[in-house]
Amino acid sequence: MYNRKSILGFLLSAACIALMSCNGTDSEVMPGQSDIQPRGHHVTTSNVMSFSGEVVGTSQLVRKPNSVSMNLHTSGLIDGNAYTVWYFVFNNPSACGSIPCGMADILNPEVAADLLYAAGNVAGNGDQTSFAGALNVGDASTSVAGFFNALFGTNVPSIGLLDPYAAEVQLVVRSHGTMTPEYMPDMISTFNGGCLYPPGVPQDYGVEGILSCEDVQGSIHFPED
């Protein structure tokens, strides 16, 4: 059976990650901690948290006038498993009903949320795995809004990133299970590559496999003040 909870499970843990109310609160790197930068080049650093509440790494988000880029360094992943990282962009977080933005805000058109590809990799460097990627303003080519529309019967548009400085950006690490050559490179470049599809969802988001995708870690970057 396809597990719907795995798709957006990181949002259910968003408040825990952002407010550091879980284990690992003694980390020196707090979510949204900002380096002093001119507006043209704004950098924040945030903890990466497992959904069991542990600090497992750090991520850095760089905001520029026409793009955001991220570097995420984490631990606790399974060697030989394929992973992707996704930008969950809330373009207008002031319209969200919670801090940080959460599941209920996805369908609010005023929030203008979207989920877009950031990076992919196969874990295999001991206990450390790194990801890096960039997203340009207006590029919705990797949006997976259609996946959720088919799953939940909604009509959320593909929006992409509108304003790099105003958006709340949540990063989610998604496991695609054991790397399987016949499903590559979709396992590290698409939302559902190598995984089972829910009934009614078109197989447009990576080659279908026999595994179950699962969101395992998250990191939150609040917009600059």
Strand, coil or helix: 88: strand
Q: What's the Cα-to-Cα distance from 32 to each of 8, 47, 136, rounded to whole Å? A: 21, 9, 21
The boundaries of the domain holding residue 86 are 4-221
Structure-token pair, residue 143: 């949006």
How do residues 74-107 score in pLDDT, each as one tens digit? 999 999 999 999 999 999 999 999 999 998 898 8
Report pLDDT digits (tens) over 28-50.
Answer: 444 444 444 556 789 999 999 99
- Cβ atoms of residues 221 and 32 within 8 Å: yes
* CA atoms in the 13 A half-sphere facing the CB of 97: 8
For residues 123 and 159, give the distance between their C-alpha atoms in angstroms, rounded to a whole number: 30
Would you call the peptide bond into 181 cis, given omega within 30 degrees of 0 as the criterion? Answer: no
Domains identified in the chain, total number: 1
Cα 35 to the center of its chain, rounded Å: 22
Instruction: Judge whether 121 and 83 are in contact, CB under 8 Å.
Output: yes
Question: Per-residue pLDDT for the chain (225 aa), expressed as one digit of tens each?
Answer: 444 445 555 454 444 444 443 333 333 444 444 444 556 789 999 999 998 899 999 999 999 999 999 999 999 999 999 999 999 999 999 999 999 999 889 889 999 999 999 999 999 876 899 999 999 999 999 999 999 999 989 899 999 999 999 999 999 999 999 999 999 999 999 999 999 999 999 999 999 999 899 999 999 999 975
